[in-house]
Amino acid sequence: MKHSIAIEVNGEAWALDVEPGEVLLDVLREKVGVKSPKIGCETGDCGACTVLYDGVSIRSCLVLGVEADGHEITTLEGLSHDGLSTLQQVMVEMSSFQCGFCAPGIVVAAHELLQQRPDPTREEVQEAIAGNLCRCTGYDPIVDAVLEAARIGPGDASQGKGP
């Protein structure tokens, strides 16, 4: 039996019918067409499907579509609606990524951190992205970029919008 849900994805309202067992990740990818949250493990281990759920980072493979009814979802696509964020800009400039598959989840997780702690320590950054597996970079380049984005801060318009 299908359930009707109403969710907001990156500021846009969606009314959708979902199966009872359908996870939010599949709803986003298959029914909304938002493809930045990736399928990496489907067990909540890798963090490639990380999205913001009412502003809080979650694994979208562990949340059912029906649970998301009435909630706001933000993905990487939503963070760069009006230009790159400082973090995105810095990661591009510093080449702080490799294959890019984990990047959408990592940017979302780091975005949440910078919202809450605009001036984090290295350990806090490591902690914030500890649930996002990256097999390419060895993490240091990503942590460096998050710290650099924090140092620049969201206020510098030339560096893009938001943290």
Partner 1 sequence: MTQTYVGRADEANAMGTLAVVGKGTPRIDGLDKLTGAAQYVDDMDFGAALLHAAVVESPHGYARILSIDTSKAEAVPGVVKVVTGKDFPYTFGMYMKDRYIFAQDVVRFAGEQVAAVVARDARIAKRAAALVEVEYEALPPLLDPVEALGDGAPLIHPDLGGYEHVPWFFPKENTNIAHWRKTRRGDMEAGWAAADVILEDTYTVPRYAHCAIEPHVVVAKLDQARRLTLWTASQSPYTQRDVFAQALAPLGLSHQDIRVVTPYVGGGFGGKAGVSMEIIGAALATAVPGRPVKVRWTREQEFYNTYQRQGVVARIKLGARKDGTITAIEHEMLWDAGAYVEYGANVVNAAGLSATGPYRIPNIHIDSLCIYTNLPPGGPYRGFGYSEFHFGLESHITRMAEAVGMDPVEFRKKNAIAEGDTLAYGEPMNPSGLQEAIDRTAAAIDWGVEEVSDDPNVAIGKSLCLFWKAPAMPPNASSAAFLKFNEDGSLNITVSGMELGQGYLTVMAQVASEILAVPPSKIRVETPDTDRNPYEWQTVASHVTWSCGNAVAAAALEAREKIYKVVHDARGYEEGSLYLEDQKVKCDTDPDFQMPLADFVVAGIQMPDGTFRGGPIVASGKFMPEFTSALSDPETSQGGHPNVHYTVGATGAIVEVDRETGKMRVRKAALAADVGKALNPTLIEGQITGGLLQGLATVLYEDMRFDENGVLLNPTFTDYKIPTSKDVPDEIIPIIIETPQPDGPFGARGVGEHTMIAAAPVIADAVADAVGVRLKAMPITAERVALALLGGGQEAS
Residue numbers at the binding site for partner 1 (CB under 8 A): 19, 21, 29, 33-36, 38-43, 45-46, 48, 75-77, 80, 84, 88, 91-95, 97-104, 107, 125-127, 129-143
Only one residue has tokens 């909304």, namely 32
Q: Is residue 121 classed exposed, middle or buried when 0-12, 13-18 and 19+ CB atoms within 10 A define those classes?
A: exposed
Contact 28, 60 (CB under 8 A): yes
Residue 143 CA to residue 14 CA, distance in Å, equals: 35
Q: Which is nearer to partner 1, 11 or 70 (CB)?
A: 11
Q: Which is nearer to partner 1, 63 or 106 (CB)?
A: 106
CB of 38 to partner 1, least distance (A): 7
Q: Which is nearer to partner 1, 6 or 99 (CB)?
A: 99
